Amino acid sequence: MESITDFGKIWLRGFMRPEYGLRIDKIYFVIGEGDSQSTKYALYNNYLFVTLYYPDKQIRVFRRFSLDLVPKSRGTLFNGFNNTKHSDIEAITYRDDGVEEFIGAKSDCVIGEDGSIDPIKIMLLTGWK
């Protein structure tokens, strides 16, 4: 079973600053947090679901990354990643083909009873199968 094993910042080649990312087993993901006030993520059915909340814009951005995507962007672990040795890596980014995105309203609630995001609610809201 896959699990989120570490998180921190990744500096991708060609980018002006590091971006927030996480590691699931041996795969790195750059989720595109930007100036999000609240970022939540969950794993479900071979997907990483990410919810970003931007209060200034009054929107929520939902992203879905398949765990089968192939990492193509080269970068370096910048900071954080306390459980991972510093190294050069390849990552899947929110800009890659195959990453799905949906922009919703502030009021779109996808929180489950346990307080974490509910991937089934996200799939219903976005129309993802």
| Of 2 and 53, more confident | 53
More confident residue, 63 or 1: 63
| Residue matched to tokens 């996480």 | 22
Segment 51-69 mean pLDDT: 95
pTM for the complete prediction? 0.93
User: Where are the domains positioned within the chain?
Assistant: 4-126
Rounded Cα distance between 113 and 111, Å, is: 7
> What is the pLDDT confidence band of residue 104, given thresholds at 50, 70 and 90?
very high
- Per-residue pLDDT for 1 more than 80? no
Task: Give the model's pLDDT for residue 37.
Answer: 85
Give Cβ neighbours of residue 89 (< 8 Å, ≥ 6 apart): 10, 28, 71, 74, 75, 76, 77
* List of long-range contacts for 34-41, beta carbons under 8 Å, 24+ apart: 36/61, 40/116, 40/117, 41/4, 41/117
- Cα 87 versus chain centre, distance: 20
